[in-house]
Structure 1
């Protein structure tokens, strides 16, 4: 059964750059393949090489990119491409809610765990989540 059709792009602005990584983080993948985000919310962007999308999968190997404020509300789906500035960071793997309702950790599958410093990120860069339908 096909559930997803076209959607608008969710955009945001990087508000804080993070510079650390962990190999023992213990995040837990939420069972949801999508989350609605509202304008003004702030969520954390986290890279991982993990690729298992099973609910509850443990995510240990992570690189922290930073926090982004959502400028344009919408739906972020597993598989969405994530770009910061003009650079493709990876695709949304899923969500960890250990800090919710303060914020979600948006887990981004990448070929390697990268940090905000390694990606030369800076506050005020545009963040985009785009579906590929």
Structure 2
């Protein structure tokens, strides 16, 4: 089976933008490499330029994009490509659950810290999560 077609892509809509960065945030990636999400849930999107992340890693350097409302239920996996429209902005690096059950922080690995301002995001913009070209185990 083609790994790019092994699951449905997850789509969502930005409902709130965030514009700040932190260099001592202290998020911690949970051991689980996937999270099920339901239609209507809202989760926070956070970028990081840390490299070599794995379960249990502390993530201090973060940039905040905002909150996304999930359109239809599905599964988010570490290694998924994260898209704004058709533009790939990074790779899903893991999940922090410090605010759960309210929401997950969905961490996105990027070359540089990004915020809603640096990516020119707008409320109502579409965000996608698609199976990555390389499976998470190979990253």
TMscore range, shorter length: over 0.9
Runs of 4+, deviation exceeding 2 Å: 51-55
Matched with 1:6 is: 6
Shift of 1:85: 2.0
Matched with 1:35 is: 35
Matched with 2:99 is: 99
Consecutive unaligned residues of structure 1, counting only runs of 5 or more, are: none
Matched with 2:137 is: none
TM-score by length of 2: 0.89
Shift of 1:53: 3.3
Kindly provide the CA deviation profile for residues 59-109 of structure 1, in whole angstroms up to 9, marking residues without a partner as x.
Answer: 000000010000021000000000112221100000000000000000000
- CA distance in structure 1 between the aligned counterparts of 2:59 and 2:132, rounded to whole angstroms: 25
- For 2:89, what is the secondary structure of its paired residue? strand
CA-based RMSD? 1.4
- CA distance in structure 2 between the aligned counterparts of 1:80 and 1:96, rounded to whole angstroms: 16
Shift of 1:6: 0.2
More helix, by proportion: 2
Shift of 1:51: 2.7
- For 1:72, what is the secondary structure of its paired residue? coil
Correspondence 1:123 to 2:123: yes
TM-score by length of 1: 0.93
- CA distance in structure 2 between the aligned counterparts of 1:22 and 1:76, rounded to whole angstroms: 25
- CA distance in structure 1 between the aligned counterparts of 2:30 and 2:97, rounded to whole angstroms: 7
- CA distance in structure 1 between the aligned counterparts of 2:55 and 2:93, rounded to whole angstroms: 11
Aligned residues: 130
Consecutive unaligned residues of structure 2, counting only runs of 5 or more, are: 134-139
Q: Which moved more, 1:14-23 or 1:79-88?
A: 79-88
Matched with 1:26 is: 26
